[in-house]
A and B are shown apart, each in its own frame.
Chain A
């Protein structure tokens, strides 16, 4: 019993110490130099955009020490709902708005994200035509040998209903999302990428930026070109010449008719400025054309 106490006291005090240290913490604010921008701004919404907005928020807070920008997740629908109801100052959405939703909201484009078709790195197939992809995704082709690859059953990986990638791909092929015949369904981007990385026969469509980053880090995934255009962040960004055909906008939403607080407006303007292009590119998204 006493031996336990000797061992446990350090842990106990360590935990207490951490907590107390935190309570003493860095003084909030520092020298404000009469900085008028103070207060709190709340953003909620897409978990795809959240990491990027957290970085932008940190940069903003470094310049305006009395401002606090809280970025929360909860999904695109949450962002849309909260921006409309006022629970959040700014909403983040990686999917487009329905006509109903668009009625009350203003959408500002933060960045673009391409959608790429990704196969395993060892898959000998180098590219697929639109018709081949459509046949694959509607279950008409079931083996890689029919597409010029090594014989093996195709593992068609689809995404969760309601995601913007699903709507985008379905629209691109001119079909309804229900027509897609899937073998597996993945959730977030990394889940989809890991699924493909673990299965030489799999194919999935996923955020181009995320896939490109994964490939660069050595994961065994390969991005397929679409209509002959290589699936790269540059191709999505190209405004002259051949632009990669599948891209979705990442949106910041504000309520129509209600003015934002000066802090929130300042933050919104800052977030959309060209200053943050480096942060956007670090997460493999594409800055909007300026």
Chain B
């Protein structure tokens, strides 16, 4: 309905803004050019998006690998293990974390986390920093939705488990979690979406070098950070190329989501 309309509008907008670059530069160059060095004229610049796409994917995947288990564990903790007050405090802290602006996360990451990583391996601003900050940012989403999902598990299930003599961890793992799975996946999907779309924080801690990272300590540039970094100073052609990168991001996300859905359906059936 309205939501669908908005998405269509956004995609249309992206397409409209991308057309100048797509027509003069051609989609192939976005995949095969030697590097990303946009310049005023199409002939002069190079426009390869692949390293940044890879950067975005690594960042998001890494963040999810950390945040989803930690978030679900936090939720299980909150629902089954923490005494009432502790659980309430924990939940409130999660809600708090969810509202901290990305610029504050980025700033904190830049000032506190990056120097720590630099001690392990310079330069400090890196894929690792990005993954850690992103994981922090999406953790509350996973945790809060998982808590709600676990809270919605019918009491009868838990009572049945108790009747069968299951211990607490067994109850959580084999009864509550599977029952809450749809809600948890929902939260994970939201978290993934947030991670992919995050701009400010990754811009500040990832180093912004356009390259495919070969180690966790290499600087990377996310597609979103690229748009933010260059949009303010871009001339018309460059600007259009940036919109192409936005479009590419959306297309890739759509493909990934279709894949996840397909896999989910197969798992259900």
Contact = CB atoms under 8 A, between A and B. Distances in A.
Check whether chain A touches chain B (CB < 8 angstroms). yes
Interface of A: 46-47, 74-78, 95, 98, 101, 153, 155, 160-164, 177-178, 182-187, 191, 194-195, 198-199, 201-202
A183 B235 CA distance: 25
Interface in B156-179: none
A162 B234 contact: yes
A194 B203 CA distance: 13
A198 B110 contact: yes
B228 interface: yes
Given A161-B37, A191-B204, A184 B123 contact: yes
Contacts of A155: 122-123
Nearest to B203: A187
B230 interface: yes
Given A47-B232, A187-B228, A198-B110, 15 more contacts: A74-B232, A76-B232, A77-B234, A77-B239, A78-B232, A160-B229, A162-B230, A163-B233, A178-B37, A183-B123, A183-B209, A184-B125, A185-B207, A195-B110, A198-B115
B208 A187 contact: yes
Interface string B102-126: 0000010011001100100011110
B219 interface: yes
9 contacts: A46-B232, A77-B233, A160-B230, A161-B229, A183-B123, A185-B209, A187-B203, A187-B204, A191-B203
B40 interface: yes
B110 A194 contact: yes
Contacts of A164: 233
A109 to B, nearest CB: 19
Nearest to B107: A194
Nearest to B210: A185
B229 A199 contact: no
B38 interface: yes
A104 to B, nearest CB: 13
B122 A153 contact: yes
Interface of B: 37-38, 40, 107, 110-111, 114-115, 118, 122-125, 203-204, 207-209, 219, 221, 228-235, 238-239
Contact of A76 (B122, B209, B221, B233): B233
A194 B112 CA distance: 11
A220 to B, nearest CB: 11
Given A155-B123, A184-B219, A199 B233 contact: no
Contacts of A184: 123, 125, 207-209, 219
Contacts of B110: 191, 194-195, 198
A160 B238 CA distance: 13
Contacts of B209: 182-185
Given A155-B123, A198-B110, A199-B123, A77 B232 contact: yes
Contact of A98 (B124, B203, B208, B235): B235
Contact of A77 (B204, B221, B229, B235): B235
Given A184-B208, A185-B207, A199-B122, A95 B233 contact: yes
A257 B235 CA distance: 22
B245 to A, nearest CB: 13
A183 B229 CA distance: 16
Nearest to A167: B233
B96 to A, nearest CB: 15
A153 B123 CA distance: 9
A77 B231 CA distance: 8
Nearest to A76: B233
List 4 A-B pairs, minimum CB-CB distance, nearest first: A75-B232, A162-B233, A185-B208, A160-B229
